[in-house]
Amino acid sequence: MFLLLLSLLCNAEEKYTDIKKGEIAPFDGKLFTNEAVSKILSSHELLLNKCKIDGETKLKEKTLEMEFKYDLLESRYMLTQEMYESMITNRDNVIQKTPAFRQDVKTEWSFVGGILVGAAITVGIAYSLDSLPNQ
């Protein structure tokens, strides 16, 4: 609002006349002393400087806030990236240390032994069920 009023004053036509005490003013309007004019100008300058400082302060505050948020997001990104890289490294280490599925003699005999034990249990159960009605 102040800038709007200031711009109107800048575009206004300058009408002033130096008069002495007791003379009649040549136009309608307000008369100011030199001290009053300098006080008005200095108060406007003070207000303008205050607005500039407030704007700069708000800008710096927002800049610091955005830098903080950026740093926080960057830290979270770096931690997440490190976590996933360590998970992949651990997975690769586990894969390298565990033996691949090998079909050796021990595995074959375990399979054959499992079938034989299962068949023996089935025969035993069938025999006991057949002899059950005879008792």
Q: Are 25 and 19 in contact (CB under 8 A)?
A: yes
Q: Are 25 and 17 in contact (CB under 8 A)?
A: yes
Distance of alpha carbon 58 from alpha carbon 15, whole angstroms: 39
CB atoms within 10 A of CB 48: 13
Q: Are 123 and 131 in contact (CB under 8 A)?
A: no
pLDDT in tens, 50-94: 999 999 999 999 999 999 999 999 999 999 999 999 999 999 988
pLDDT in tens, 1-59: 554 445 555 555 555 567 777 777 766 677 777 888 888 899 999 999 999 999 999 99
